[in-house]
Amino acid sequence: MKRRIGGLLGTVFLSAVAVLGSGSVAQAQQADADLAKLHCTNWTFCLFQHDAYRGDSARIFLENVPNLAASDYRFDNKASSMSNNTGYSVTLYQYKNYGGTRYVARKQSEDKDFTNNHFDNKASSVKFQF
């Protein structure tokens, strides 16, 4: 009987450690995302490689970018989330030189997952609506 209770307690303990451990990983990922968003300062439009503002980022300071592949940003078809900390709407285009389908980011807005807008990894150019 003692062995059975000890085994049960061991299983409960390991389950608790697994749950607590996964919580700390999630908290660490959220902290990383929050830190990344902090680097997206006022008057900056930021694209992030992964959902929830994670991964590499492109910080765009109030400039139109007709080709994300040829620019200093090297972010063509890589964006999965964005933070718009500008006073302007920003339009993302599927193709370079502002062609194809569009995604409009309203001023002072965020989108942690482009999948729901069918625009994940599709942005090839960026245009501010001054």
Q: What is the pTM of this model?
A: 0.76
The CATH number that applies at residue 55 is 2.60.20.10
Domain assignment of residue 102, yes or no: yes
The CB density around residue 13, as the number of other CB atoms within 10 Å, is 10
Rounded CA-CA distance 79/53 in Å is: 10
Domain assignment of residue 9, yes or no: no
What is the per-residue pLDDT across 69-88, written as a single tens digit (0 to 9) for each? 988 999 999 999 999 999 99
Contact 115, 86 (CB under 8 A): no
Residue 64's pLDDT band (cuts 50, 70, 90): very high
Total domains present in the chain: 1
Domain assignment of residue 77, yes or no: yes
Residue 39's pLDDT band (cuts 50, 70, 90): confident
The CB density around residue 122, as the number of other CB atoms within 10 Å, is 20
**Looking at residue 38, what DSSP letter applies?**
H
Q: Reply yes or no on whether the pLDDT at 23 is more than 70.
A: no
Domain assignment of residue 21, yes or no: no
The residue range of the domain holding 123 is: 39-128
Q: Backbone phi, then psi, for 83, in 5-degree steps?
A: -135, 120
